[in-house]
Amino acid sequence: MHNEVTVMDEHHHDNDATDVFGFWLYIMTDCILFGSLFATFLVLNYQGMLPSTLKSHINLRVVLLETFLLLASNFTYCLAMLDLYKQKIFRTQVWLGMTFLLGGSFVFIEVREFIQLAAEGFRWDLNGSASSFFTLVGTHGLHVSCGLLWILVMILQLPKLKGSHIANRRMTYLGLFWNFLDIVWIFVFTIVYLLGAM
Amino acid sequence: MTDHSLHQPDYGTGQKKLGIYLLGFVACSILTLLAFWVVMADTLTHGQIFAVIYGSACLQFVIQLVCFLRLNTLTPQGRTNVMSFVFTLVILVTIIAGSLWIMRNMNYNMMH
């Protein structure tokens, strides 16, 4: 009987490993999506086709704050993961809640920035450079928003999944996704904001 | 069941340890501050600023891959992850460098 349970467990792990690899492949295709958007942005902004008007609208302090919010949320997610492995479900939920608040602040600040840009006349339909800016940064923001929804669902699901291998698997998916978004943000703030402000 | 909690499946992502996360967090914070400070202070030449912010971004990229995503070649699944990642990098370089190259030539030929 004991043997059978171990075999079942091994079986789950093998399946889960394949599933996580599948999710990793999804992340890789998402990289290509962002790569295309970065290529578009670079072509339309830095090749002398149109004088970019983005520079005068960039507020680097706000971007720095956004960067740290996302970096901190990444770290709190890792802490949630550590507590999940120790089977401390409540503490996992608390860290996930922190991650949600940090990520939520990021999206809030970004949306406010977009509204302000539009009010100042830098609208998405102004020219190609503006369109590529809003598409690139907006796609990232949309991913973060989806991640936030996912975190909320996870917080609600965790007590039901307690101790099961499904909890580990789903948290691993979400962790990959959340880390990936922070990595994309490194390039967004470097290429869009820092280069744009120079 | 106790055995189960000791050996968590890591899906090729390596063991989770607080120290490595902390290291990644601190290193990324320092590099981010450095990059923003260089641009905001604006005391260096353009070439130097380029070098610093690109260097900072690439270093942060590697740190995040190693410390947070825990990419490694220690397990078969880790190696599979790295291989698919390298393949993605090849495609990314093709898309981005290729687009810039082609558009630069087009731009040059249209303007001159």
Q: For A2-38, how does the pLDDT look when each residue is reduced to its tens digit (9 = 90+)?
A: 445 555 555 666 678 888 899 999 999 999 999 999 9
Is the alpha carbon torsion for A141, A45, A31, A187 positive or negative? negative
Query: Is B104 within 8 Å of chain A by CB?
Result: yes
Whether the per-residue pLDDT at A172 is higher than 80: the answer is yes
Domains of chain A listed by start with CATH number: 2-197 (1.20.120.80)
Q: Do B28 and A25 touch (CB under 8 A)?
A: no
Tens digit of each residue's pLDDT (9 = 90 or more) over A60-99: 999 999 999 999 999 999 999 999 988 889 999 999 999 9
For chain A, the straight-line distance linking the first and the last C-alpha, in angstroms and rounded, comes to 68
Residues from chain B contacting residue A168 (CB–CB below 8 Å) = 8-9
Question: What pLDDT, in 10s, does the model give residues B55-87?
Answer: 999 999 999 998 888 888 888 888 989 999 999
Pick from A56, A53, A103, A49: which is nearest to A75 by CA? Answer: A103
Cα–Cα dist A134/A125, whole Å:
9
For chain A positions 58-97, those within 8 Å of chain B (CB to CB) are 60, 63-64, 67-68, 71-72, 74-75, 78-79, 81-82, 85-87
Task: Using an 8 Å CB-CB cutoff, list chain B residues near A47.
Answer: 100, 103-104, 107
The answer, for A24 touching chain B at a CB cutoff of 8 Å, is yes
Name which residue leads in pLDDT, A50 or A113.
A113
Chain A interface disruption, residue of B4, B5, B11, most A CBs within 10 A: B11
Q: What share of chain A is helix, strand, coil (3-state, %, to 5)?
A: 85, 0, 15
Q: What is the mean pLDDT of chain A?
A: 89
Question: In chain A, which residue's Cα lies nearest the Cα of B91?
Answer: A32
| Mean pLDDT of the region A45-59 | 73
Give residue A49's pLDDT: 54
For residue A111, the 8-state DSSP code is H
pLDDT grade, residue A145 (50/70/90)?
Answer: very high
How confident is the model at residue B12, as a pLDDT?
A: 62
